[in-house]
Structure 1
Amino acid sequence: MKQTLSIFCLCLLMACTSKPKQSEKDGFQQKEKFEESWESLQNYEIPQWMKDAKFGIFIHWGPNSVAELHTDWYPRWMYSDKGHINIQTGEIKAGEPHVAYLYHKEKFGDQKEFGYKDLIPMWTMENFNPEEWVSLFKEAGAQYVIPVAEHHDGYALYESSYTRWNSTRIGPNYDVFKALADEIKKQGLIFGASSHLAFNYNYYNQQDYFDTGDPQYADLYAPPHEIGDSVSQEWLADVWWPRTKEIIDKYDPDILWFDFYLDRPEFVPYHKKLAAYYYNSGIERNKDVVLQTKNFNFESYPEGTHMFDLERSKSDKIRKEYWQTDTSIGKNSWYYSKNWIPKSAQELVADLVDIVSKNGCLLLNIGPKKDGTIPEDQKKTLLDIGKWLKVNGESIYGATHWEVFGEGPTKTNTGHLAEIKDKSYTEQDFRFTKNGDNLYAIALVPPTNDIEIKYLNTSNINIKSIALLGYDGKIEFEQSAGKLSIKLPSDAELDYSWVFKIKI
């Protein structure tokens, strides 16, 4: 009896310890808590739900939207009276006032009397309807949504215990972030948060002849210091870290995205601390979470400890680790502006395909107006992408890269803000994805002639049949040792990238 009981106890112990505890929700596996060490953080894995999602919506909205021109860094540029840097091209214009400085002075008044702090109450958002917004995102085929929680301006779109400059106290008197978070979760999408606060310390031009030099507004414009100074440890400990923790603790984001400046040396003491704290917060609520950073100038997070993000850029190859492109529908802006230059749905669908073929996902930004409406042209673009995904989603959602990402003459530029260098795709550009037993060969540009794909020759693959998603007719093809030839169907009426489903 004693021996039988011992064997029973041993079997019970093995059953409890031989594999992680599996939660019913989202495939979560209970883990040991992470420690603040790279050795421990190397045990992090990007969850499968993130790898399957592929397409998300980014939302840049807030007091930045009030000016309606030059809005990306308007709070910075409106004080740039003696030179500035073009963030798209890197061009330095020494001694020249930024057009936003002149625009503000003419439209709103002198920056000493009417500064950025005075624009905040003008963010009225009277037509904001979170239910309509999220319904639009779902119709667009998005699987996750990341609203900006706070930008470089230092203004929190959430109820903050650490700054009076938040949306519940100054401006709309409303927890904008919570309203979006609740609706995103209610409609079954994945909820994320972005923090851009790290750059706030060196964002504003602090001068006595501007309100930025007034000590009573140091809690918005940062403590007085010379621009370019290293971020003080006091500000990190008393401002940045508590506010970052507050977003995690109060709103439970499944994705936490950080803008550049987090990778500066001053933030090194917080890199492991942040990752461990956030990942452990996920464990406490039985959820695998995702930390996304840029690693722009400084290798702040080793590979395998987070998810890498490229701003306005794509990879030129298949990356081993799952990654993300964040970009905007606006070629020249993240926040709404009257001179917004839009990208077409055709461009964005092709970019999405290219990214997925290289083991990535796309986070696409919209810029709502100050009153809370999403411009009609941005709505149309999202809906057009959604229509394409309804037909072709099996080649995207849950898909993986293949042995090669594709072929064609158009090369992808990579690196920070590199998309400005990219050339348009041609009819000879193809990308491959795989989902289950199916291979997808995707023509990035709608073909006008018979198709030839060199890599899909008999030496590399044996094709059984080909179908064209969204088309009911038969697809005629011929495979040789040198290429795959597909006869162009004369009656196919399809928008954007064409997806050929291949049975092997």
Structure 2
Amino acid sequence: MKKLLFAFCFLFTISGLQAQKKYEATWESIDSRPVPTWFEDAKFGIFIHWGLFSVPAWGPTEKDGVGIYDRYSEWYWKGISDPNRKSYAAFTKFHNNTFGKDFKYQDFAKDFKCELFDPNDWAKVFEDAGAKYVVLTSKHHEGYTLWPSKEAWNWNAVDLNPHRDLAGDLMTAVRGKGLRMGYYYSLYEWFNPTYKQNVHQYVDDHMIPQMKDLVNRYKPDVLWTDGEWDYPSDTWKSTEFLSWLYNESPAKNEIVINDRWGKETRGKHGGIFTTEYDLIHDQNSTGMEINHPWEECRGIGSSFGFSRNEMLDDYSTSEQLVHILVDKVARGGNLLLNIGPAADGTIPVIMQQRLRDIGKWLKVNGEAIYSSRKLANAPKVDKDTKIYFTTKGKDLYLITTKWEDTPIIVDGIKANNIQLLGFKGTVKSTVKSGKLIITPPALSPATNPCNYAWVYKIPNAL
């Protein structure tokens, strides 16, 4: 009997192994892995850029005459070091006037104290915003890590100030709220001597061991790489690493990766495709049809890291941010909205306010966002679009970013029992010649369900 039982267990184990696909170290194989469903269901995530750059917390703005990629405060060290960058003059002028010509970037480490950082407070802000996942900069291009990486000895948040595992502490708090948690990781490091002298040694002895440590230690739901543009993916050994990630790592089943794994991979290889401030390699992606799981990342302001140089007009309004979320979701994507905490560990109040407003809107209208999918053959979206569609099962959601008092007409839909999410009254509708005609209800301040955008649910329309 024992022999029979052993044989049964052995066969069951073998069949299970055979059922689990093995991913080879080729893009053809890596690209065949489906993006985990949780990502497309989540729709809204929080990006966090936090590091030593949060101490000077400064970047040029539009008034300084620089492009969007030159306004990032997280590029401060590069900004004061590279005369070839358009923002070099602005960065060096600020740095020399504020800290002095002899003040080195490494000296900012003593002031990255994070003395007011409470990961539970952060997690509550993200939960109230309606976000479903969080992505923290575990290491930006400066090489300073927010966890005790042995590859970044004496250049991390545990060996130096704030003497704390920031990445781990936030992971615990975020997951305690039932949210997914992942990490941004820069493949390259601007001023790492090994990287500058021997990229192959850097990849073998520094980058890959460091990424594996991050994955083994925290089992993240997202690994969001960046800084890939200097070399092709073969140099980074990206497919070799991803084969390990998908086959052997403790995060293999649920982890989501992006498309930044080599100078040739964006929009072609990896996991989700990424846009940034509506740009793909400097090309405007507004209204673009992307038939693959994708995500837009952007700051609330014009920088990812906190910039004290930004004024109110540099920040998107709550209305604009809700409209951005609607646009991305209706086109089949996610929104990864960035915040830039201060060096003391606080989230700037204006960012908290924006997130809270998004959360209030999602409490009323989240049914049309979470777990939704884009409408097949939906009208083309452009900068003037005011009506968007999402679907869930047989239900259709019509989202209007501008309140209309006049009837809304939807071609090819025969349905009734139309609902305005969050509104307790009835919504009149008729069907004529194969067209659904929705008559918007008269709203008062007391009956208006939300601000910024309104959602009509059209049951059994599909």
Over residues 328-363 of structure 1, what are the superposed CA-to-partner deviations in whole Å (9 max), with x where a residue is unaligned? 111x11111123321112111111111111221111
Alpha-carbon distance between aligned partners in 2 of 1:173 and 1:30, rounded to the nearest angstrom: 45
Residues 141-150 or 311-320, more deviating: 311-320
Alignment of 1:25-64 (within 5 A): 31-64=20-53
CA contact (8 A) 1:128 1:371 kept: yes
Q: Aligned pair 1:291/2:280, yes or no? A: no
d(CA) in 2 for partners of 1:352, 1:273: 35
Determine the C-alpha separation between the residues in 2 that align with 1:497 and 1:255.
Answer: 30
Q: Deviations over 1:113-146 (max 9, x none)?
A: 3210001111111110000000110111111011
d(CA) in 2 for partners of 1:154, 1:343: 30
**8 A contact 2:259–2:265 mirrored in 1:** no
Which amino acid counterpart does residue 436 of structure 1 have in structure 2? G
Distance change >3 Å, CA 391–CA 263, structure 1 → 2 = farther
Task: Indicate whether 1:120 and 2:121 are aligned.
Answer: no
Aligned equivalents of 1:436 and 1:266: distance in 2?
39
State the Cα deviation string for residues 211-259 of structure 1 (Å, max 9, x = none): xxxxxxxxxx22289xxx7972222222222222221122211110011
Q: Please, what TM-score do these two structures have when normalized by structure 2?
A: 0.85
Q: Following the alignment from structure 1 to structure 2, what is the Cα–Cα distance between the partners of residues 267 and 342?
A: 39
| Shift in alpha-carbon separation, 1:15–1:402, aligned structure 2, 3 A | farther
- Alpha-carbon distance change, 256 to 451 in structure 1, aligned in 2, over 3 angstroms: farther
Could you tell me how far 1:191 is from its partner in structure 2?
Answer: 1.0
The amino acid of 1:128's aligned partner reads F
2:292 aligned partner: 321
In structure 2, relative to structure 1, the CA distance for the partners of 1:236 and 1:15 (3 Å cut) is closer
C-alpha change, 1:451 and 1:16, in structure 2 (3 Å) is farther
Determine if contact 2:187/2:227 at 8 Å carries over to the other structure: no
Residue 356 of structure 1 corresponds to which residue in structure 2? 329
Shift of 1:489: 1.7
The residue identity in structure 2 corresponding to 1:383 is R
Q: What does residue 394 of structure 2 align with?
A: 437
Query: Residue type of the partner of 1:271?
Result: S
- The C-alpha deviation readout for 1:15-50, integer Å capped at 9, x for no partner, is 7777x68xxxxxxx9724422133432441111111
Partner of 1:191: 181
Partner residue in 1 for 2:453: 497
In structure 1, what is the Cα distance between the partners aligned to 2:240 and 2:259? 14
Kindly tell me the number of residue pairs found equivalent between the two proteins.
431
Q: 1:145 aligns with which of 119, 124, 134?
A: 134
Cα offsets for 1:165-205 (capped at 9, x unmatched): 1111122111111111111122211110101242x2xx3xx
- 1:467 CA drift (Å): 0.7
In structure 1, distance between residues paired with 2:266 and 2:419: 45
Q: Which residue of 2 aligns with 1:134?
A: 123
5+ residue gaps, structure 1:
1-5, 22-28, 87-96, 204-220, 412-424
Q: 8 Å contact 1:452–1:483 — kept in the other structure?
A: no
Instruction: Give 1:446's aligned residue.
Output: 402
Which stretch has the larger CA shift, 314-323 or 245-254? 314-323
C-alpha separation between the residues in 2 aligned to 1:486 and 1:499? 12
Find 2:247's aligned residue among 280, 295, 298. 280
| Residues 9, 134 of structure 1: alpha-carbon distance in 2 compared, 3 angstrom cutoff | closer
- Assess, with a 3 A threshold, how the Cα gap between structure 1 residues 296 and 339 changes in structure 2: closer, same or farther: farther
List alignment gaps of at least 5 residues for structure 2: 60-72, 279-284
Q: How far apart are the structure 2 equivalents of 1:140 and 1:276?
A: 35
Name 1:467's counterpart in structure 2: 419
Counterpart for residue 374 of structure 1: 347
Matched residues, percent identical?
31
| Residue deviations 1:58-98 (CA, integer Å, cap 9, x gap) | 11111101112212311111224x44235xxxxxxxxxx42
Match of residue 96 from structure 2: 105
C-alpha distance 260-60 of structure 1, shift in aligned 2 (>3 A): same
Which of 236, 254, 262 is the aligned partner of 2:203? 236
Q: Which moved more, 1:8-17 or 1:485-494?
A: 8-17
Q: Aligned residue for 1:84?
A: 85
Amino acid across the alignment from 1:470: G
Where do residues 241-252 of structure 1 align in structure 2 (5 Å cutoff)?
241-252=208-219
- Listed one character per residue, the Cα deviations across residues 284-319 of structure 1 (whole Å, up to 9, x for unaligned) are 46732111124785136845x422111222563443
1:159 maps onto 2:130 in alignment: no
| Aligned-partner SS, 2:306 | coil
Q: Match of 1:253, SS?
A: coil
Give me the whole-angstrom Cα distance separating, in 1, the residues matched to 2:6 and 2:151.
Answer: 51
Mapped to 1, the partners of 2:349 and 2:84 lie a distance apart of 35
> Which SS does the other structure have where 2:149 is aligned?
coil
Alignment of 1:339 onto 2:339: no
For the aligned residue pairs, the C-alpha RMSD in angstroms reads 3.0
Structure 1 residues 360-379: Cα deviation after superposition (integer angstroms, max 9, x where no partner):
11111001111111111111
What residue number does 1:418 align with? none
